[in-house]
Structure 1
Amino acid sequence: MSVICRKAQQEDVDALYELIQGYAAKGIMLPRSREALSRNIDTFIVAQDGERLIGCGSLCKLGSDLVEIRSLGIVDGYKGQGIGSKLVDALMEEAKALGIPKVMALTYESAFFQKNGFNIVDKEIFPEKVWTDCVHCAKQHCCDEIAVVRLIEPAAVGERLSFAQI
């Protein structure tokens, strides 16, 4: 198996839709329409084995210093092989390239995120998320997802930090 992670392209929309719908049908991921996926394709990273799309994840900007990992999923038969971690690494690199210092997620798989350097935190520290998405969610008052966050590594030794970074 030779898995690569790459930016999603328009021709990936149908495979993304099928993968996400499988999770949505189980109630563990929000559904996304093909139109929404097409409009937001530039926010997705996909994992590919040969010609087959086997995983995905996206970043949603919630503020100038915060992005959320969304729609992180792996095709059955490929789970437990490190593909999710590869996707998270690619998404973290994307956040770093965008200059975003904080990455968060709401998840049922907190152990996976902790293994990937995230810490469990109180959801309420993310008013950007609450007022963007949670306010419209049916589970708003009984949310059972766990919030996790990871900070992008600070500047390398020898680089000067600006006051905005401290």
Structure 2
Amino acid sequence: MQTNKEIRCSSPAVSYGKVLFELGVPEESVKKTKEILEAVPQLSDLFTNPTVALKKKQTVIDRVFPEDMRNFLKTACRYQRMDLMDEIFAAYEKCRDEQDKVLHAVLTCTVAPGDEQKRGMENFLSRKYGAEKVHIEVRYDADLLGGFILRAGSDEYDWSMKGRLDRLAQTLAH
């Protein structure tokens, strides 16, 4: 399954994300750790600061984070990978989505789809990609002039008026 979460081709981050997933750490603990790091940016500064002793970093980890995440975080600190935590979490989520057969898609439109339309898109994507769950992120773009563009993985379905006009202009130009 493809996700729309950006993961740079930083193989250490991807490797750490896969390891975190394979460790079987409860999803709630991973989520809580991510929330703590987002809520207290000073922690990231502390963990990435080379002048702070590893022992002090480990003490902070023991006091602040869920128990089942501590060894992973200590290892990330020891090997100076704490600056990759956003990418590590993204890689972890990608692994989890692949296991759970979750597909992330982006719908760009001028008007939000109705419930029936959205269900139709979810059913289409579910069948096409073999997904058990489909999450559609809705974005708005008035430049489309009507209709929509649906992106899933590397596929794009352009049913926008702008797209149709562009294709017509290309056809007439040839």
Structure with higher strand content: 1
Bigger Rg over Cα: 2
TM-score, with length taken from structure 1: 0.26
Structure with higher helix content: 2
- Which has the higher relative contact order, 1 or 2, with Cα contacts under 8 A spaced 6 or more apart? 2
